[in-house]
Structure 1
Amino acid sequence: MQVHESQATEAVSRLRVDGERLWNSLMQLAKIGATEKGGVCRLALTELDRIARDQVVSWAKEIGCTVRIDAIGNIFARRAGLRDDLPPVMTGSHIDTQPTGGKFDGNYGVLAGIEVLRTLADANVTTLAPIEVAVWTNEEGSRFVPVMMGSGVFAGAFTLEHALAQQDRDGVSVRDALTAIGYVGENTKPHTVGAYFEAHIEQGPVLEANDKTIGIVQGALGQRWYDVTVHGMEAHAGPTPMELRRDALLVAADLIHAVNRIALDHAPHGRGTVGWVDVHPNSRNVIPGRVKLTVDLRAADDTTLTAMDSALRDACTVASEKAGIAVDVEPVVYFAPQPFATELVAAVKHGAEMLGLSSMDVISGAGHDAVYLARVAPAAMIFVPCKDGISHNEIEDARADHLEAGCNVLLHAMLRAAQVVQTAPVSEGSNV
């Protein structure tokens, strides 16, 4: 039954998700691959991933969505619009986890999308554009590289054949793993997306530290990763005088300090991390002859990221010349800084203000599927706090009211983009 436009607008503005239903869905999904410490281990394209995918697909079909799977295993659950030929307004994330992952990373974004679909179905709302929820394949990159594989293929960051050929540590390819779990879909050209929103826990401490409920994500930091190798010379720790040593670890230690200094010099969004170090021969009484280390630099704009790259190379040159030993720098990853679409960021901000939720502008320090989607469609993200900023950890936690609040912002941002054209009287006890 169609109602007057002003009545429809008022009814839609009062629309709210069912926070308890959202929480229960998250807890049900978290049982699939649950760990003793309260986390989740559900690696991409394993049997546990299949079970979780089947559960999400079942929930989508229960509310009348059509479900399509593409050739890299991405899942698209679609709720038809009045103009179903229009590009869909999409939301989504991933349900694969780290080996010691939590209940909310990625999973929240997918199930917040399912909750939006349930809410629209309950309220009999018709949108002009269709709405889709995407489950992206292998976002974490724990079993297969590259990370953000499914969204990367969708956005053309790398080819389908390249992704399908990747192998895990046991030599199992993505192609074979998809076949084994029954999620090889259609090899068709990715469809056009009208707008993409992604809800996510922050995975950092900023919102909690500022006592804000909603993070209005302006964009994602650009990233440059490097493999650095310091070439010294092994020698006996006793007979070799200090001034005659060619200690690779000593030079590496200077470079680790340099990486930290480079990030601090490019505040507030500069990041610098040495996350992995390999010392050879790694013997108690041998001066290290070779050290390999990884460097991860991040910044909010390419000018800053380029300056940080230059500073790292200068530091390696200075360290090499000072010690008289070679330092090799090999770039291995580059993600350009990705600003999000102004109009979609504004829709997120409008939703937070309309709902009376505290908010602040933030930058995403981590990579997300939205970063790739932003290459092919207008995109934005919604962050909610996570306890102590901890993620990629079994003790990852988030408050139910914060998750509900973020989902409500997602609901109204998507409705703003998809345009409500029809609603129906809502029965007593609904979420309007």
Structure 2
Amino acid sequence: MKLLKRVLILLLIVIAVVVYFNYTKLNIISGYASKNMASSVFVAGRSTESITQYDNNVPLIKLAETEVDNSIKQASSSVYGFMERQSVYREGLGTVLINNDYDPNKFTLKPNRNKVSDTIPYPYGQANPRDTVFPEIDIDQLNKAVAIAFSNPEVQKTRTVLILYKGHLVTENYIDGFTKDTPVLGWSMAKSVLATCYGILEHQGKLGMDWPAPIAEWKQDERKDITLNHLLRMQSGLEWEEDYTKISDVTKMLFLDSDMTKAQKGKKAVAKPTEIWNYSSGTTNLLSGILRQQFRSHQEYLDFPYSALIDKIGMYSMVMEADIAGNYVGSAYAWASTRDWARFGQLYLDKGLWNGEQLFNTAWVEYITEPTPHSDGTYGAHFWLNAEGRYPDVPKDLFSCNGHEGQYVFVIPSKELVIVRTGLAQDPLFDVNTFLSEVVKSVQ
């Protein structure tokens, strides 16, 4: 009996030590599980069973137990009863992971949407896509390419694929549980959406990329020389750790902060602007905060991405989620159907021209696809590039929006292609080079 008591005491001590040293990690695990479940249910309209079986069934996150309350649109998660985190749904703003700063009565604004029906065929309108046959498209080869994306589903985990050619839908495919209308979390593809708001404001003559970042705290130190261009290119020289496998700057921001625009703002400079390239989700959320400064009211800020871009091109399924303080989380939280993600790609293939209206300068595409120094030709301005042959068998003019777990919107101007792929695995588990090269082969 004494031995048993000693074993139990030792076990309790071990548990206490583990909990103590992993307290913040438990916070992030349960926070991720709660947030992902709530958004997948209340934004994407998917079942809790599917999310538990697939989306949250990954190392560490699967340790969390999650309950959903549909009556109040809330999800709660904990790890063996420790560190319960809650996420709540807010109309028009998606879901938010709450903390002690959250006051449901304090923030009641939501973006105004302008959703209109029309008779224009997809992707430029809301009508059914036009049934078009292109003699230069090898359909058998195209079908082979799509089949490759869905082969070995336990490894590649592809969910949706859609391909536009010359502004026409040529193929789309979805696994069970996903349709052309199912919103998909783009993760870091949201960065490209946020950046496009800057391109639109530049086109409207309201700001320039060479403007100093309007951050009062930076005016009296070495950070005063950081421009909007430096931020969009991730070359500000500011300290930042982008590591999702541990407690880092990015995980603390996403799962602990009430105002995510502040995480990067307070970081010290470790290099002069342009001296290094350092990918930073904190930088994008800082840009979201700077975007908010461009408007006289919070309501105008909330409305702008929709009125100037999202609803303008008919991406009616898109929801940009906001933090507790009401800032768009441009680093990671934008949802849209596969068809609507493709509309975004088509806008860039058409260099900002949409149904006769120029939303951003044609030179903006040249700007975002100009390789950023020290990125090895892989990054422009909040878009990824193939300038140095990252995908060796794919045209080098390819540029893309990339997101965690293999969310992609690829634009290949030389082939007049827009290719969307979503799933739960990224390169190399999902072989991007092979998939894209097989699609390219279909265009004679």
Whose strand fraction is larger, Structure 1's or Structure 2's?
1
TM-score (norm 2): 0.23
Larger RCO (CA under 8 A, 6+ residues apart): 1
TM-score (norm 1): 0.23
